[in-house]
Amino acid sequence: MGYLSAFDCCVLWHLYLPLIILIMNLRRYNIYFNTHTISGIIICAILYVIFFAGSFSFFKNEINAWQKNESDKGGTYRNLVFDHLLDSINQVKELKGRDIAFYMQHNGHASYVNIGASQDTIVANRAKLMAAQKTKGITKDSEAKGEKKKKRGRGRRGADDSMYFSYDLATKKPSDYGDGYTMGEFLYRLHFLAPLNQIGINIGRPFGYTLAGLVSFIFLFALISGLMLHWDKIKSNFFVFRPENKWKTVWTDMHTALGVIGFPYQFMYALTGIVLIVNSVLIIPFSKYLYDGKENEVYAALGYNDNTKYTYLYEPLSTTFKMGDFLDKLESKWPNSHMNRIFIKNYGDRSMHVVALYDANIDKNFAGSGRIIYRVADNKILFEKSAADNGTYLDYVKGFIYRLHLADFGGYPIKIIYFVLGIMGCFVIISGILIWLVARDKNNIPKRKRIFNFWAANVFMAACLTMFPVTAVAFIAVKLATKVDQPFIFHVYFYSWLALSVFYIIRRNIGKTNRETLFLGSVLALAVPIVNGIKTGNWIWVSYRSGANDILLVDLLWLSLGIIGLLIFRKMLQSARKENDSAKQVTANEANGDIKKASPPKRTFVLKSNPTTEV
């Protein structure tokens, strides 16, 4: 047994080094591959729902306008409205000593209004007494009616003395949440799985939000592992698309090409999505360690709220406060910015303060935020920072997260690009499921596993692909119905979704699911603008001429979805026919040979009879 010299070792090492690296990379490659596949297949169906509903939520306001047939021409109002509003509330509810908050909505002329309980014990007690009497009355009433009233929607309930409602400053109309429910709101809330909060799974936090957060985290993980997986081939495979090959390569190329092109977008969405839905995984520990467990303080530090409490002095305010004048002055001082939130503290007391949070207009400054704190009693500004000043680091990061996620920084062009990229994300998910299935449909995989794989893919595809026709149906239904509220939209959407999914699950033919949902969805999509035209008279050309751009946009969106869908459908039919022909030829040519071996390229995966999967 001879010993290796140092030289031999060196040579051997140099010989083996590339091999070792290769082995390491192979190992890593397979790990990336496996983690990417598994994490992807776990979340695919929910992620599809998030992407599909989320893409439509870019047009939430437009869909609302479309459904109500009231084009939102960006209603204007004068700040005087706030004084009228406060006066009229004061007549029903004594405002003395209360905290009042206005949260401006995105359209710029409506606000959520929150009126808290009074700090003034006399007012508070009087209000409590009144509330108690009222609830007694209500409970008597509801007992008589057989307790029909159910909790639904969001907003605050119970016998406490606060109030929460939405108020349109331009039309001066208040509105209750549940009755003003629209498809826009529905799809918006579906995209972070809010309806799942109500199904009664109790985990101590809203179930739907938690699930959405978990899915976005796994999505982020799948994106990172997917990027690592394709890293070496990104350049060489960037322009690879082999549509003439067999289905497996078509799905693979589609998944990779769209996945790589859309990667930055999807990565941004995974990240901002987690932040917006489950930032509590950071807020809670940070508040515990750094803010004495006060989550409110963290939110205040991040500039979402102002929770400063001012001691109540029980001395009535000697000066009068006109909110309209205050805002007018503020807006002349801060041009190029708009109101975000206003907090009035201790209304009518000598300790009354007004805190106003303003945002810079997006075309001037991506991330500016202004704040002013004003003491009414001696007309003194305690703190002032204009939104036009250079934003702090906090403003910038927050601004980026919100602007990028909400796509509200560039008007319709940006929203349309975002919408296309979002739908592209849906294609990435669908092709991913199909790769997963096709790659596992091999003879060396046990039959039991292949049956399970087909079952899973079948369920996922049925649930995902039926969303297109179901959404179109819901849009038609809300136009035809006389009264639309939350239960109506829930029933139409979820029952038709359930029925259609069950139908395709039982049918067990992914090819047909694919083609038929596409056809059905496209036809229904074309019907959306037509139904709207017949029902309201707002045909596409009418809304174009009248300048109702938001209504026009929704109609055009559905029109183009329908046309593109039908074009793809025609293409699919052609290729399916071509294949059937070639399959017939092959079987005729080799009628006496081993047919299975010589089967044509697998383009029609489940369409053709496949013994294991069709059983």
Which residues sit at the interface with another protein, rule CB under 8 A? 26-28, 30-35, 37, 217, 220-221, 224-225, 228, 271, 274-275, 279, 281-283, 285-286, 289-290, 298, 301-302, 393-394, 397-398, 401, 439-440
Contacts of 494 (CB under 8 A, 6+ apart): 195
Residue closer to another protein, measured from CB, 30 or 319: 30
Residue closer to another protein, measured from CB, 281 or 451: 281
**Burial zone of 236 (CB within 10 Å; 0-12 exposed, 13-18 middle, 19+ buried):** exposed
Residue closer to another protein, measured from CB, 397 or 459: 397
Residue closer to another protein, measured from CB, 131 or 397: 397
Residue closer to another protein, measured from CB, 281 or 598: 281
- Going along 157-242, which residue ranges are E strands? 163-168, 173-175
Cα separation, 388 vs 361, in Å, equals 9
Cα separation, 515 vs 419, in Å, equals 22
Residue closer to another protein, measured from CB, 267 or 312: 267
37 conformational bin, left if phi > 0, alpha if psi -120 to 50, beta if neither: alpha
Rounded to the nearest whole angstrom, what is the least distance from the CB of residue 197 to another protein in the complex?
22
Cα separation, 369 vs 356, in Å, equals 10
Rounded to the nearest whole angstrom, what is the least distance from the CB of residue 279 to another protein in the complex?
7
Asked if residue 373 lies in contact with residue 381, where contact means CB atoms within 8 angstroms, the answer is: yes
Q: Which is nearest to 334 in space by CA: 315, 313, 352, 359? A: 359
Rounded to the nearest whole angstrom, what is the least distance from the CB of residue 39 to another protein in the complex?
9
Rounded to the nearest whole angstrom, what is the least distance from the CB of residue 253 to another protein in the complex?
15
C-alpha 418, offset from chain centre: 12
Cα separation, 282 vs 275, in Å, equals 9
Residue closer to another protein, measured from CB, 213 or 348: 213
247-261 and 263-278 helices, crossing angle to 10°: 70
Rounded to the nearest whole angstrom, what is the least distance from the CB of residue 272 to another protein in the complex?
9
Residue closer to another protein, measured from CB, 93 or 602: 602
Rounded to the nearest whole angstrom, what is the least distance from the CB of residue 300 to another protein in the complex?
10
**Burial zone of 179 (CB within 10 Å; 0-12 exposed, 13-18 middle, 19+ buried):** exposed
Rounded to the nearest whole angstrom, what is the least distance from the CB of residue 126 to another protein in the complex?
40
Residue closer to another protein, measured from CB, 27 or 545: 27
Rounded to the nearest whole angstrom, what is the least distance from the CB of residue 302 to another protein in the complex?
7
String of DSSP letters for 298-337? HHHHTTS-----------B-SS---HHHHHHHHHHHSTTE
String of DSSP letters for 438-450? HHT-STTS-HHHH
319 conformational bin, left if phi > 0, alpha if psi -120 to 50, beta if neither: beta
Rounded to the nearest whole angstrom, what is the least distance from the CB of residue 433 to another protein in the complex?
14
